């Protein structure tokens, strides 16, 4: 069922940062996190064979000014950008050293990085700026022509960008070296979000339906794809696989899998045993698994991990899970229960090894880095590492 028109602009600042990161990076939402607690085991972990249990260790903190807004990672997880009030700064995810000076713009509403982290963007209500990270030089400043900005994002190569004006029925596509828009993508309703695919060939938008456009011509390449939302949580979050060739869309009690290049529907999966609709659907870091969370506004279900090729259920983990990120080969999962405690699970053994609780965190696309605020206006950092073998029978 198609959603009826409604105003979502009151939530646009949060939605732009969160939905953009989720769509482009596959992961990067703001998750509640603070301290590590003792590991726990599920009932499935009664066997005695040893297993490798990855774990997070604290490697921060990193200074980050006043710490406004959620940090956003580059597609390759090698860099992240964080807001410092009237400026942003780009950081190296491995060394935690700054890659840029403060990039200043008054009243920053939106910010992000190109796919490789070499360029950054900032935007306020009226102007979109693109910066070179290594030199901290301003490359372009473009005035919006279609009204107050309600959404903005940068293309993966940094040469193009997207804006959506408040209460406007079009997505506007720009080139960095041109003062006027390249073209506009018209919609029947006001779009809530828009994003380039990781290769920059397609633009995916949401106006209650999912639309896929050719990024060079602006032509819609396939009929709109229905979402069939039963409950409205946020702007729809789609997920690309690491290559950008496949696109996951939540749909009813399951998901639709689409070939990005052609818009061809590869699979439609519906699960009768779900008590509520799919809320988030995500590829694993290597594209081999699909994580689905589902539920209603009052109660969420365990996270479900499926084989991306066959659609076969491999494991259900946790309870009351709002969001989930899965590591390569389905080895581990980061779960965000609705009760605000981040959980780390070894999926091969069914062991919950760590709990991190309270405070808002951002997670890198590959799931290897947790970044969150502390009381001292710093960004504290946890990095995923392998720990010695653990005997589950102990």
Token duo for residue 48: 């005695």
Domains and CATH numbers, the chain: 9-391 (2.130.10.10)
Report phi then psi at 14, rounded to 5: -65, -40
Which residues are paired to 258 by β-bridges?
Answer: 247, 265
Which residues are paired to 342 by β-bridges?
Answer: 356
pTM: 0.79
Q: For a pLDDT cut of 70, what percent of the chain falls above it?
A: 76
> pLDDT tens digits, residue range 350-380?
889 888 755 557 888 888 888 876 655 567 7
What order of strands is seen across the sheet that includes strand 170-175? 149-154, 160-165, 170-175, 183-186
Higher pLDDT, 229 or 2: 229
Q: How far is CA 174 from CA 30, 129, 145, 321, 371, in A?
A: 29, 12, 11, 38, 32
- Residue 269 and residue 260: Cα distance in Å, rounded? 17
Helices (H), strands (E): how many in the chain? 1, 38
At residue 228, the pLDDT reads 65
> pLDDT tens digits, residue range 29-75?
444 433 333 344 443 433 434 444 447 888 877 765 545 667 899 99
């Amino acid at each position: 069922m198609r959603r009826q028109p409604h105003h979502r602009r009151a939530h646009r600042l949060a939605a732009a940062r969160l939905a953009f990161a989720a769509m482009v990076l596959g992961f990067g939402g703001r998750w509640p996190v603070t301290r590590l607690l003792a590991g726990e085991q599920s009932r499935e972990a009664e066997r005695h064979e040893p297993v490798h249990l990855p774990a997070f260790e604290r490697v921060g903190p990193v200074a980050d000014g006043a710490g406004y807004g959620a940090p956003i990672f580059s597609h390759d997880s090698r860099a992240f950008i964080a807001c410092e009030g009237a400026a942003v700064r780009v950081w190296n995810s491995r060394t935690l050293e700054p890659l840029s000076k403060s990039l200043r713009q008054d009243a920053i509403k939106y910010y992000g990085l190109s796919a490789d982290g070499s360029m950054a963007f900032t935007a306020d209500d009226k102007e979109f700026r693109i910066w070179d990270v290594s030199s901290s030089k301003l490359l372009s400043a473009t005035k919006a022509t279609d009204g107050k900005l309600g959404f903005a994002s940068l293309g993966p190569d940094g040469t193009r960008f997207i804006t959506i004006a408040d209460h406007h029925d079009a997505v506007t596509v720009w080139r960095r070296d041109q003062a006027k828009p390249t073209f506009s993508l018209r919609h029947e309703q006001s779009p809530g979000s828009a994003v380039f695919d990781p290769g920059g060939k397609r633009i995916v938008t949401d106006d209650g339906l999912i639309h896929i456009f050719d990024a060079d011509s602006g032509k819609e390449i396939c009929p709109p794809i229905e979402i069939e939302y039963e409950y409205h949580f946020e702007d729809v979050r789609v997920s690309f696989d690491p290559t950008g060739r496949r696109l996951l869309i939540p749909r009813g009690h399951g998901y639709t899998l689409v070939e990005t290049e052609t818009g061809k529907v590869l699979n439609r999966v519906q699960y009768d045993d779900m008590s509520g609709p799919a809320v988030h659907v995500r590829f694993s870091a290597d594209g081999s698994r699909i994580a689905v969370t589902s539920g209603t506004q009052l109660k969420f279900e365990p996270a479900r991990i499926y084989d991306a090729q066959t659609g076969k259920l491999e494991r259900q983990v946790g309870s009351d899970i709002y969001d989930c990120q899965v590591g390569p080969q389905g080895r581990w999962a980061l779960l965000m229960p609705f009760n605000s405690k981040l959980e780390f699970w070894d999926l091969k053994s069914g062991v919950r090894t760590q709990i991190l609780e309270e405070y808002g965190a951002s997670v890198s696309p590959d799931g290897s880095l947790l970044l969150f605020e502390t009381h001292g206006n710093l960004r504290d950092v946890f990095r995923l590492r392998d720990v010695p073998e653990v005997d589950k029978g102990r």
